[in-house]
Copies of this chain bind each other. A is one copy, B any other.
Amino acid sequence: MKILILGGDGYLGWPTAMQLSALGHETAVVDNYLRREICRRVDVSPLMPTPTLHERVTLWKKISGHGIRVWIGDLTQWDFTMEVFQSFKPDAVIHYAEQPSAPYSMMDRRAASLTLHNNLMATLNIVFAVRDFCPDAHIVKLGTMGEYGTPNIDIEEGWIDIEHKGRTQKFLYPRQAGSLYHTTKIMDTDLLWFYVRVYGLAVTDLMQGPVYGLFTEENREHQALWPSFNYDELFGTVLNRFLVQAAIGYPLTVYGKGGQTRGYLNIMDTLNCVRLCVENPAPHGSLRIFNQFTETFSVNQLAERVCASGSRLGINVTIQTIPNPRVELEDHYYNPMHTGLLSLGLEPHYLTEERLDKMLSTVLTYREHIRKETIFRGVTWK
């Protein structure tokens, strides 16, 4: 199968590319290095050195024998998007090509504007590129569980049947997000759902929770193939960041009451979810939605698990509650469904003590690289 991975330089994009190419798919990656550029602007950096896409592709070819095609360019530019799709004509398009940081999107007007523009205009171009150059392609787009927010009713997988005054209608599950970034993902869903109805596109929208982890089947032996691992408050997902904070004795920063509960998953499960969707495409004219996580934790529970891991490894980890810089409920009902991907065959890698300890001990070997002053960014929502 010809698979095009948009945002192929990212934390999830690159591991996805290796996995799918290892499975024998003809794989290509596209990126504009936007995240690298933003990281430079705001002075944060990944824990381990992250070679360029071209460098990683060369190394991966040497190790695995599998080639990956690379395009560096901006999907908000139609001439570039057209060139990629016209030339590669993918069977599946995996769309990670978005500014992915909630705190960055809340930093200031320019960051909000960049996020809104990048995420929406890229998705629109992808819609037209698929329509015009590969109408049979299946689009797998990464959404986020954050689109749903924290409603007081069960969160279904994308859709809900509403009974109202004796009549019924199926709707996209009502969405209400907690950051501008998450709001752009709601808009993405609306945009794709509209064009699914009009152009008959085949789309899978994956409502993903925060991802953690470093290792995949393909990268264990080669640090240069590890994903870009951020640990700052802007680009570091919470568990990854807590592990880095633990490694240098920086108290784990819990926002407010710490009861904020989300659905999490291991990076290996992200890859398998995406692969399962590619292998089992959505039918044309449908928007298939899965909630993509394997278990739920509150921030307090995550912090406690990292403390316990620290104890097992002989390091002292503390927790510090700080005033919540975000606007969110700190104590709430949370019961999201997540059976769709299990039905497709997902076998979860849960957050075991062994996996947590392995991550923490790996991070400890890189502790000299940690730039402590870049962790706290002080971005407030208000």
Contact = CB atoms under 8 A, between A and B. Distances in A.
Interface in A100-132: 106, 109, 112-113, 116-117, 120-121, 124-125, 128
A238 B171 CA distance: 28
Given A78-B109, A121-B116, A174-B174, A168 B153 contact: yes
A98 to B, nearest CB: 15
Contacts of A151: 169, 171
A342 interface: no
B109 A120 contact: no
A167 B78 contact: no
Given A112-B128, A333-B167, A327 B176 contact: no
Contact of A171 (B106, B120, B176, B183): B176
Interface in A150-202: 151-154, 160, 162-165, 167-169, 171-177, 180, 183, 186-187, 190-191, 193-194, 197-199
A62 interface: no
B172 A171 contact: no
A78 B113 contact: yes
A255 interface: no
A128 B105 CA distance: 13
A291 to B, nearest CB: 16
A180 B194 contact: yes
B382 A199 contact: yes
A381 interface: yes
Contacts of A173: 174
A333 B171 CA distance: 15
Contact of A187 (B168, B187, B197): B187
A171 B174 contact: yes
Given A128-B109, A153-B167, A174 B162 contact: yes
A120 B116 contact: yes
Nearest to A171: B174
A153 to B, nearest CB: 4
Nearest to A166: B153
A169 B153 CA distance: 6
A139 B194 CA distance: 27
A313 to B, nearest CB: 39
A169 B329 CA distance: 14
Interface string A187-225: 100110110011100000000000000000000000000
- Please give me the 7 A-B residue pairs with the lowest Cβ-Cβ distance, nearest first: A171-B174, A153-B164, A109-B128, A153-B167, A152-B169, A187-B187, A151-B169
Interface of A: 78, 106, 109, 112-113, 116-117, 120-121, 124-125, 128, 151-154, 160, 162-165, 167-169, 171-177, 180, 183, 186-187, 190-191, 193-194, 197-199, 327, 333, 381-382
27 contacts: A109-B125, A112-B128, A113-B125, A116-B121, A117-B117, A117-B121, A120-B120, A120-B187, A152-B168, A153-B165, A153-B168, A160-B164, A160-B174, A162-B162, A162-B174, A167-B333, A171-B176, A173-B174, A175-B190, A176-B193, A177-B194, A183-B190, A183-B191, A187-B187, A187-B190, A190-B190, A198-B382
